[in-house]
Amino acid sequence: MTDKTEKSNLNNNTSDTDTDNIPEASTGTENKSSSTLHPESLKSNTQSDSENTEVSRPEELQTDQAIDDVVRQEGDEVLAAEDSELAKAFVPVKLPWYKKIFAKKKIWIPLTILIILLVLAAVPFSRYKILGLVWKQNIPLVILDAQTHQPVSRATIVLRNVQGLTDSDGKLTLRVPVGNATVTISKHYYKTTQQKLLVPLHDPHTSTITLMATGRQVPLQVIDEISHQPIANATVVADKTSVRTNEKGTAVIVLPANKSSAVGQITTPSSAYNQAAVTIKISSNPGSTNTFQLTPSGKVYFLSNASGKIDVVSTNIDGSDRQTILAGTGNESPTATQFSHSADWKYLALLTTRTSNSSDNGTLYYINPTTGQISTIQSGIQTYISIIGWSADDHLIYTASSATLGSWQSGGELLESYNPATGKSTLLDQTTAEGTSSSDYAAQSIENEFILPNNTVLYTKRWTSSYPTTSVSSSDKQMGIYTINTNGTGIQAIKTFPTDFTTYLSVIENTPDDYYIAQQNIPIPAYYEFIDKTLRVAPSSVNAQTFNNYFSAATTVYYLSPDATSTVWSALHDGNSVIYRGDSNANNPSQIATLNSMYGVAGWFTNNYVLVEKNYSELYIMPKTGLTSNLQPLKITDYFTSSGGH
């Protein structure tokens, strides 16, 4: 049994081995010969073939893999060919257009929603409910008193949860969603009213709604105390209600009918006027009107010796709320004290002696008008100081002359500018000198200082000497006309002239930014005009008499408004003081007042009012538009001056 099994295995092995190793060109004789071998030999061959088979297996695996790849490739090609034939034979089915749309959800779902919205929007009942979700419109409203038909200001309006107050004309515009809505209007001493209205899609018309008063209508008016002009948008508050005046300064306030009066308060936007406490008469007489006057806000500052000392004092422009800003020490000189304020009244300067130091010739101080704090600008110890004035850009211009330097030493005179915003002074120019002693010197001097509207300073410099004892030559020296910016930049020599230590220059103001200059003490005086930053020969009408009249008669002083658009000045005509207002160059003048000769212009208060002084001791205010028979200057206060002028 073992032999049979082995033979069977042997036959199987032999068959497999021979089949794998027979060449394609083998003959049948070779096959026959192999089948008749001796068993031992066969066994030996079988073992040998088996060993050979195991050795050659990697090559067989490569062959099998190659065959598999060929079969797979041929299979893919066959499948691809079949698919190609099927594709050629396939005819696509055309779907209807509506099925194509519904096959694309990203298109048909939004389209369906849009169609539904359009259908709903076409129905009036649902149109505004839908559009009100996304569409808002401005709806104008006007509220009137049902009885007087006057505007009801500061009435509360609520529409679609949006709330606001009516203005002085009873008007209010609210931006709310479109559609039908109910508006509610309420105000103290009025019956609350509700009314249905439609906020349309386009061009809403103004809805006028009337309120029924439950109290008494009281007409009132608010005017400017100085000009008597109406004050618009003034808010009057009294007895839990309020109104706002219209452009005519009028309003109707509703107050309890069982009262004869009510205490109120009046305010204005941006505090343009001082707040005022008033008593409103509640009258049943329809012709009676409560008229109230408001004072423009702001203060004026001045010197006063009412206390026995020279104090710096402030008041409102109606003279109320008088306060001492800086109390005098008792050391102030009545004849040497100078006080100056900037055009906008924001900055104050005081030149005085506040100590008992005999070497103090007058110290220059800056005063903060808000706090009253005082700080020293320039010490007057061994120095002589003179205030020139304030520029439009709020720089204080002054000169300081040393009392200790010899006349032959440089730096004896200084032209300086003080900036209160920084608290610092800037040297604009100074003098030079030569020589050895007070009997042998030549020195410059600074003269004829004017502050120009364009924030520059016009001045002259000339040479003097210990003539005829000086040994200093004048041949290399000149006098000249100069300008410099108030911040110390841009110095210019407008024109220079030869000097012999005796000639000099005189400057007078013709009009703002127009000056006449004379070259004096020469055989034939020469006259020039400095206008618009340019020096030219003066008109033939300018001569020696022009300068004589200027210095011998009352000098005309021009005051430029804070916004540099207008000037005011006064001139004596037929025993009266006539006040004029012109443009920035004093051209196109118009007469705004005629007062007796004791009056003169003292400056501006803001851009709307003109200050007038009387006898250099009383300060008044008037509107820049002028006076009428029923309107006269309003007195502010009495004041003190030591310079013979304000």
Q: What is the pLDDT of residues 403-453, one digit of tens each?
A: 999 999 999 999 999 999 999 999 999 999 999 999 999 999 999 999 998
Token pair belonging to 609:
């009012």
pLDDT above 60 (res 344): yes
Mean pLDDT of 3-16: 40
Position 132 confidence tier, pLDDT thresholds 50, 70, 90: low
Nearest residue to 511 (alpha-carbon basis) of 532, 483, 493, 481 = 532
Its pTM stands at 0.73
DSSP SS3 for 167: coil
Q: Which helix (H) or strand (E) covers residue 492, if one does?
A: strand 492-498
Position 202 confidence tier, pLDDT thresholds 50, 70, 90: confident
Kindly report the number of other CB atoms within 10 A of residue 123's CB atom.
10
pLDDT tens digit string along 235-263?
999 999 999 999 999 999 999 989 999 99
pLDDT above 80 (res 128): no
Return the pLDDT at 299: 95
For the ranges 281-295, 347-361, 569-583, 585-599, the lowest mean pLDDT is seen at 281-295
pLDDT tens digit string along 622-637?
999 999 988 999 999 9
Share of the chain above pLDDT 90, in %: 67
Position 642 confidence tier, pLDDT thresholds 50, 70, 90: confident
pLDDT tens digit string along 164-197?
999 989 999 999 888 888 999 999 999 999 999 8
Mean pLDDT of 80-100: 57
Share of the chain above pLDDT 70, in %: 78
Return the pLDDT at 164: 95
For the ranges 58-62, 256-260, 460-464, 587-591, the lowest mean pLDDT is seen at 58-62
Return the pLDDT at 178: 85
Token pair belonging to 611:
């200050």
Q: Hey, which residues does 224 pair with through a beta bridge?
A: 294
DSSP SS3 for 171: strand
pLDDT tens digit string along 446-486?
999 999 988 999 999 999 999 889 999 999 999 999 999 99
Name 130's Cβ contacts closer than 8 Å, sequence gap at least 6: 117, 120, 121
**Residue 458 C-alpha from the chain's centroid:** 32
Q: Report long-range pairs for 49-57 (Cβ below 8 Å, ≥24 apart).
A: 49/13, 49/14, 49/17, 49/21, 50/13, 50/17, 52/17, 52/21, 53/17, 53/20
pLDDT above 90 (res 16): no
Return the pLDDT at 51: 41
Name 587's Cβ contacts closer than 8 Å, sequence gap at least 6: 511
Return the pLDDT at 147: 87
Position 75 confidence tier, pLDDT thresholds 50, 70, 90: low
Return the pLDDT at 110: 72
Q: Is 167 within 8 Å of 220 (Cβ atoms)?
A: no
Mean pLDDT, the chain, as a whole number?
84
Nearest residue to 405 (alpha-carbon basis) of 363, 438, 428, 369 = 438
Position 88 confidence tier, pLDDT thresholds 50, 70, 90: low
More confident site: 25 or 530: 530
Name 68's Cβ contacts closer than 8 Å, sequence gap at least 6: none
Return the pLDDT at 205: 87
The amino acid present at 223, given as its one-letter code, is I
pLDDT above 60 (res 368): yes
Mean pLDDT of 54-80: 55
Q: Is 606 within 8 Å of 565 (Cβ atoms)?
A: no
Rounded to a whole number of angstroms, the distance between the first and last alpha carbons of the chain is 155
Radius of gyration for the chain, computed over Cα atoms and rounded to the nearest angstrom: 53
Return the pLDDT at 5: 40
Position 60 confidence tier, pLDDT thresholds 50, 70, 90: low
Token pair belonging to 148:
């007087």
Return the pLDDT at 83: 56
Nearest residue to 568 (alpha-carbon basis) of 546, 551, 585 = 585
**Residue 516 C-alpha from the chain's centroid:** 40
Instruction: Go through the chain and tell me how many residues it has.
Output: 646
More confident site: 475 or 40: 475
Q: Is 150 within 8 Å of 248 (Cβ atoms)?
A: no
Q: Hey, which residues does 618 pair with through a beta bridge?
A: 614, 638
